[in-house]
Amino acid sequence: MSTTLSQLGFTPSWAAAFAVVQLPGTVPGRVSHVHRGQIDVLCEQGSLRVSVPSTFCGPDGPATGDWVAVQSDGGPDGLGVLRAMVPRTSEFRRRTSGRQFANQTVAANIDTVFIVMSVNGDLSPARVDRYLAAVHASGAHAVVVYTKVDLSPDVRLPVVTDVPMVAVSALTGRGLANLIPWLSPGSTVALVGSSGTGKSTLANALAGDVVMDTGGIRRHDDRGKHTTTVRALIPLPSGACLVDTPGMRELALAVDDVDVASAFSDVVSVAQNCRFRDCLHGEEPGCAVQEAIAAGELSERRLSSLRKLQREQAFAQRRENVKQKRRYERTRQAEVRRVTPRGSSKY
C-alpha cells in the first residue's frame, strides 16, 4: 500500500521545516515504528527500513511520529540511512520502567492525545490525572476516551476536569462519531493507555480496516509482550493520522518534568487565595484549597494526584542528581589519571 505524504500529516509547515534540514539525496518520511538500531519510515515510495546511526541513538533518538530525512539506500544490508530529524512540535514522553530512570519519547508531533480507559476495567480518575500531566508536558491537547461502553452501558463516567470526554464502543461503533472533531485532515492523534483498554481495536474501527493486531487481556498478560505488532502510524480515511502505542503498565512522568503543578491549573488557581503564600493545604488557617474541597468545588483527588506526582518527580530528580554527580566524578577521575602519568605520584 502506498501512502502519500499528506495522508501522513505532511502539511506545508512540515515541508518548510523539512526544507531547512534537507540534505541532498534525502527524502522526507515519517517514523512509523522504532526497532533496535533501525526504524520503519513511511515515505512517498512506501515503507522503508532505515538504519539509525549511533549519533541519533539515545533518549533523543527517533520516535514514532517523527519527521525525518532519509537516504533510501547506502545503509548496512541495503537499508536506508537516517540523515536528519526535523525538530518536533510536541512529544509525549515517559520515564521507562526499571531502574535506569531514563526518558523515552512514546510519540512525537502529536496534536491530540486520546487517553484511553475501558469502562469495564478499573476506572481510575487518579490514573487519568497522571496521563493528563504527561499530555500537558507534551504540548498536545488531551481527550479522555472511555472505551467498551457496550459492556457497561449504565456506568457513571468520572468527570475528571474540564478536559473533553468521549464514551465509545469500538465494537458497536457507538460514540465514534464524537471523535471526529479531533480527526481533521493533517492532524495527528496518539492513543495512550494501559494495555487491554482497546487502543488497537479503536484504531481498527477508526481506520475502517484491520490495521492493528488486537488481543485479549489474558493473552497479553500470559505472554508478557505487546500484541501491537503491525504498524503504529495509521493514515485514517478522515485525513488524520493515528499513532497507536504499546500499552504501559504504569505511566511515570519523564525525569525532567519538574513543573507538575502547571498541569493542575484547577488546584493552582484556587491556591492563589490561600492566606499563606507557602500554604501546604493541610491544617493551615485560611486555606482556600481545603475550603474549595469542603465546598465541593475542587475534588480532593486532584490535590492528592498533584502531591503524589510532585513527590515522585522530586524523588526522580534526586536520583538524577546523584547519577550526574557520579558521572561527573568518573570523568574527573579519568582526567586526573590522564594528566598524572603512571607512577609519577609515587613520591
Ligand X SMILES: Nc1nc2c(ncn2[C@@H]2O[C@H](COP(=O)(O)OP(=O)(O)O)[C@@H](O)[C@H]2O)c(=O)[nH]1
Which residues contact Mg ion (rule: CB under 5 A)?
199-200, 228
Instruction: For residue 287, state whether it binds Zn ion (rule: CB under 5 A).
Output: yes
Task: Measure the CA angle with vertex 183, ends 246 and 234; round to 5°.
Answer: 40
Residue 33: contacted member of ligand X, Mg ion, Zn ion, none (CB under 5 to 8 Å, by partner type): none
Residue 201: contacted member of Zn ion, Mg ion, ligand X, none (CB under 5 to 8 Å, by partner type): ligand X
Residue 281: contacted member of ligand X, Zn ion, Mg ion, none (CB under 5 to 8 Å, by partner type): Zn ion
Instruction: For residue 163, state whether it binds Zn ion (rule: CB under 5 A).
Output: no
Residue 171: contacted member of Zn ion, ligand X, Mg ion, none (CB under 5 to 8 Å, by partner type): ligand X
**Residue range at the interface with Zn ion (CB under 5 A); choices 128-136, 167-175, 225-233, 289-297:** 289-297
Phi and psi angles of residue 82, each rounded to the nearest 5 degrees, phi first: -75, 125
Strand partners for 30: 42, 67
Based on CB atoms, which residue is closest to ligand X, 122 or 162?
Answer: 122
State which amino acid sits at residue 152: S
d(CA 35, CA 294): 50
Strand partners for 42: 30, 47
Are 79 and 51 a contacting pair, CB within 8 Å? yes
State which amino acid sits at residue 219: R
Based on CB atoms, which residue is closest to ligand X, 29 or 196?
Answer: 196
- In the complex, what is the shortest distance from the CB of residue 270 to ligand X, in angstroms, rounded to a whole number? 35
Based on CB atoms, which residue is closest to ligand X, 225 or 327?
Answer: 225
Instruction: For residue 274, state whether it binds Zn ion (rule: CB under 5 A).
Output: yes
Q: Which single residue is written with the C-alpha cell 492566606?
A: 275
Residue 274: contacted member of Zn ion, Mg ion, ligand X, none (CB under 5 to 8 Å, by partner type): Zn ion
Beta-strand ranges (E) seen in 35-163 are: 38-43, 46-51, 67-71, 80-85, 91-95, 103-108, 112-118, 141-147
CA distances for 202 relative to 168, 237, 245, angstroms: 9, 14, 12
- How buried is 256 (Cβ within 10 angstroms: 0-12 exposed, 13-18 middle, 19+ buried)? middle
Residue 150: contacted member of Mg ion, Zn ion, ligand X, none (CB under 5 to 8 Å, by partner type): ligand X
Instruction: For residue 289, state whether it binds Zn ion (rule: CB under 5 A).
Output: yes
- In the complex, what is the shortest distance from the CB of residue 66 to ligand X, in angstroms, rounded to a whole number? 22
**Residues making contact with ligand X (CB under 6 A):** 147-148, 150-151, 169-171, 195-201, 214-217, 227-228, 247
Enumerate binding residues for Zn ion (CB under 5 A). Answer: 274, 279, 281, 287, 289
